[in-house]
Amino acid sequence: MEPIQTSLKKYMQDAGWEDALQRVQQTVLNDTRVNGWLAENDKELHEDAVAQGMTALLEYKNSWRNCDQCPGLANCPNPMPGYQPELYPEHGQIQMRYHPCPLQIAANRRKHQASLVKSLYVSEEFKKASFENMEIDDTDDTRATALETALEFEREANPGENGQGLYLHGMFGVGKTYLIAAIANALAERQIQSLLVYAPEFFREMRQAVGEGSVSEKIDAVKRVPVLMLDDLGAETMSNWIRDDVLGAILQYRMTEKLPTIYTSNWDYEELEGHLSYSNKGGEERMKAKRIMERIRPFTTELYLSGRNRRET
Residue ranges per structural domain of the chain: 4-104, 112-312
Give the whole-angstrom CA distance, residue 206 versus residue 216.
10
Per-residue confidence (pLDDT) for residue 12, from 0 to 100: 44
First-to-final CA distance of the chain:
89
Q: How many other β-carbons are positioned within 10 Å of the β-carbon of residue 24?
A: 13
In sequence order, what are the beta bridge partners of 94? 89
* Section 145-150 average pLDDT: 89
Handedness of CA 33, 36, 38, 40 (dihedral sign): negative
Cα–Cα distance for residue pair 294/301, rounded to 1 Å = 13
How many contiguous H segments (helices) and E segments (strands) does the chain have? 14, 8
- Cα 293 from chain centre: 32
Instruction: Identify the pLDDT of residue 162.
Output: 95
The rounded radius of gyration (Å) of the Cα atoms in the chain is: 31
Rounded CA-CA distance 294/285 in Å is 15
Q: What is the mean pLDDT of residues 228-248?
A: 90
Neighbouring-strand partners of residue 119? 196
DSSP for 122-182, please give it.
Answer: --GGGGG--GGG----TT-HHHHHHHHHHHHHHHH-BTTTB--EEEEE-STTSSHHHHHHH
Superfamily of domain 112-312: P-loop containing nucleotide triphosphate hydrolases (3.40.50.300)
Handedness of CA 98, 101, 106, 107 (dihedral sign): negative
CA distance 171 to 295: 23
Highest mean pLDDT among 22-26, 179-183, 305-309: 179-183
| Calpha distance 82→197 (Å, rounded) | 34
Q: What's the mean pLDDT in 291-297?
A: 95
Rounded to 5 degrees, what angle do the CA atoms 104, 105, 107 make?
A: 60
Mean pLDDT over 97-124 rounds to 82
Residue 251's closest CA among 270, 276, 282? Answer: 276
User: What is the per-residue pLDDT across 32-59, written as a single tens digit (0 to 9) for each?
Assistant: 998 899 999 999 999 898 888 888 888 9
Give the single-character DSSP code of 247: I
What was the pLDDT predicted at 4? 45
The answer to whether residues 209 and 215 touch, using CB atoms and an 8 Å cutoff, is yes
* Residues in the chain, total: 313
Identify the residue with better confidence: 26 or 98: 98
Query: Is 157 within 8 Å of 227 (Cβ atoms)?
Result: yes
Element (H, E) at 67: helix 54-68
What is the pTM for the complete model shown? 0.70
Please state, in angstroms and rounded to a whole number, the distance separating the CA atoms of residues 145 and 130: 16
What's the pLDDT score for residue 189? 87
Cα separation, 3 vs 213, in Å, equals 73
**How many CB atoms are closer than 10 A to CB 135?**
13
How far is it, in rounded angstroms, from Cα 215 to Cα 205? 9
Residue type, 189: E
